[in-house]
Amino acid sequence: MPGGRLTQPERQQIAVGLADGLAYAEIARRLDRPTSTVTREVLRNGGPTAYRADLAQHATAHRAHRRKRPAARPQPAPPRRDEAVREYEETFTALFRQQGLPTMTARVLSCLLIADEGSLTAAQLVAHLQVSPASVSKAIGFLEEQGLIQRRRDEGRRERYFVDDDVWYHSTIASARGIGRLAETARQGVDLLGRDTPAGTRLQNIARFSDFISESMVSAAEQVREVLHTKS
């Protein structure tokens, strides 16, 4: 099975396979590559519906060039940089981007999630991602507003950013509340337009569906949190 980076012809074969509706595993088999390689390649370059071989090739060349740029000044040691971890981090970033996070925000969140230390300073994030302090600051601000990360000071009074163990619980609860607000708004429309009208019926179904999803999410989140916090 060949190793190394994907070539332009291989990327073209991936694009053809996606257009033909082939599964990642089948495309990988035809290329004699691991399925994870094809999956990562597609996710980091727009997903199965937007993947283009020429753009993927250009993006790879750009990333390689960016990594070769020397740092302007010494920075605190970044997290692990071996190839497997770096590629895993990029896969995580691609998934967050598909879920709607801006690129830099997704990169910062991925970096914090896999940090060995459990938290990183702004300087470490800048060094690891090779971006400007302003870019990191903007991403940090967005993540804090969403409740996805927190900050605290270490013994040297430096601010460190970390992903709290309960972050996914709080994120799920926030999503459930948003769906609950959708249900409430739909019910207001039912009262306004009338239950017997086509629009009223449609909104009533939306309200019922949203109520069920919201309540199920809260219940599931509470149960999982209780299990995870139970001491063995």
Q: Kindly state whether residues 147 and 174 are assigned to the same domain.
A: no
Could you tell me the pLDDT band of residue 208, with boundaries at 50, 70 and 90?
Answer: very high
The whole domain housing 131 covers 83-162
Distance CA 3, CA 201 (A): 57
60 is a domain residue: yes
Of 136, 162, 188, the last residue of a domain is 162
Condensed to tens digits (0 to 9), the pLDDT of residues 164-205 reads 778 788 888 888 999 999 999 999 999 999 999 999 999 999
Does residue 63 have a pLDDT over 70?
Answer: no
Longest dimension (CA), the chain: 69
173 is a domain residue: yes
pTM: 0.55
Among the residue ranges 23-32, 60-69, 111-120, the one predicted with the least confidence is: 60-69
- In the three-class reduction of DSSP (H, G, I as helix; E, B as strand; rest coil), residue 152 is classed as strand
76 is a domain residue: no
- In the three-class reduction of DSSP (H, G, I as helix; E, B as strand; rest coil), residue 22 is classed as coil
- In the three-class reduction of DSSP (H, G, I as helix; E, B as strand; rest coil), residue 151 is classed as strand
The pair of structure tokens assigned to 39 is 């999956």
185 is a domain residue: yes
DSSP 59-97: HHHHHHHHHHSPPSS-----S---HHHHHHHHHHHHHHH
CB 56, CB 11: distance < 8 Å: yes
Which pLDDT score, from 0 to 100, does residue 51 have?
86
Q: Kindly state whether residues 107 and 174 are assigned to the same domain.
A: no
3 is a domain residue: no
52 is a domain residue: yes
The pair of structure tokens assigned to 94 is 């691609």
Total structural domains in the chain?
Answer: 3
Does residue 44 have a pLDDT over 90?
Answer: no
Please name the residue ranges forming H helices in 151-197: 167-193
30 is a domain residue: yes
Condensed to tens digits (0 to 9), the pLDDT of residues 120-179 reads 999 999 998 999 999 999 999 998 888 788 888 887 788 999 887 787 888 888 889 999
Q: Kindly state whether residues 88 and 154 are assigned to the same domain.
A: yes
Could you tell me which of 27, 40, 17, 34 has the C-alpha nearest to residue 93?
Answer: 40
- In the three-class reduction of DSSP (H, G, I as helix; E, B as strand; rest coil), residue 121 is classed as strand
Could you tell me the pLDDT band of residue 232, with boundaries at 50, 70 and 90?
Answer: very low
Q: Kindly state whether residues 93 and 64 are assigned to the same domain.
A: no
- In the three-class reduction of DSSP (H, G, I as helix; E, B as strand; rest coil), residue 153 is classed as strand
Q: Kindly state whether residues 152 and 172 are assigned to the same domain.
A: no
Of 44, 68, 92, the last residue of a domain is 68
Of 126, 142, 162, the last residue of a domain is 162
Q: Kindly state whether residues 187 and 225 are assigned to the same domain.
A: yes
Q: Kindly state whether residues 158 and 173 are assigned to the same domain.
A: no
Q: Sign (positive/negative) of CA torsion 15, 18, 24, 28?
A: negative
Q: Kindly state whether residues 157 and 171 are assigned to the same domain.
A: no
Write the CATH number for 147: 1.10.10.10
Fill in the DSSP letter of residue 20: T
Fill in the DSSP letter of residue 50: T
For tokens 């019922």, name the residue. 208
Cα within 13 Å of Cα(44), Cβ side: 22
Condensed to tens digits (0 to 9), the pLDDT of residues 4-22 reads 788 989 999 999 988 888 8
78 is a domain residue: no
Among the residue ranges 10-19, 63-72, 110-119, 161-170, the one predicted with the least confidence is: 63-72
Q: Kindly state whether residues 149 and 178 are assigned to the same domain.
A: no
